[in-house]
Amino acid sequence: MEQIAVSITVNGRPLRRVVEPRLLLVHFLRDVVGLTGTKVGCDTSQCGACTVLLDGRAVKSCTCLAAQADGGSVTTIEGLAAGGGELHALQDAFWAKHGLQCGFCTPGMIFAAHELLRTNPNPSPEEIRHGLEGNMCRCTGYQNIVRAVQHAAATGGRP
């Protein structure tokens, strides 16, 4: 199959790879770059487990071709925190409020919450529930995720 070259900055690291045009961004991240923190939970863009940031905005990386991200900058869960073991406020909030159980939906959920707080820094619980309706969690019943997002909003930026 025909191959194309893409240049994508992932977590601040510029990468140039030759890939199939049909390669999904999520598979680029997981299989080509080796960043497996981003999850695949469905094949119809319903679950949101694959949510990452593309040029600062949340996208479902199973609904985006690697080719579409050419020239762009992607942040995955591995690159969310500043580094050095420090956690991003959202990561810490999910931990503090028991916002995860099996953890599979968590990376995507954190980025969905990231997008929500980017557009609405002080959401009400109802706004949080609406803001996260594109992401599924089967373990928590969402309640502690809502608490986590409220906590992250209250603690702001960095922990």
**Options 130, 154, 156, 158; binder of other proteins; rule CB under 8 A:** 130
Cβ atoms 45, 63 nearer than 8 A? yes
CB of 149 to other proteins, least distance (A): 10
133 CB-near residues (< 8 Å, 6+ apart): none
Which of residues 72 and 107 has its CB atom nearest to other proteins in the complex?
107
Cβ atoms 74, 68 nearer than 8 A? no
The footprint of other proteins on this chain (CB under 8 A) covers a number of residues equal to 59
Tokens found for residue 76: 């995955």
**Options 7, 12, 42, 119; binder of other proteins; rule CB under 8 A:** 42
CB of 7 to other proteins, least distance (A): 21
What DSSP element (H or E) covers 109?
helix 106-119
- 50 burial (CB, 10 Å; 0-12 / 13-18 / 19+) is buried
Q: Which residues bind other proteins (CB under 8 A)?
A: 1, 20, 22-23, 27, 30-31, 34-44, 46-47, 49, 76-78, 80-81, 87, 91, 94-96, 98, 100-107, 110, 125, 128-130, 132-133, 135-146
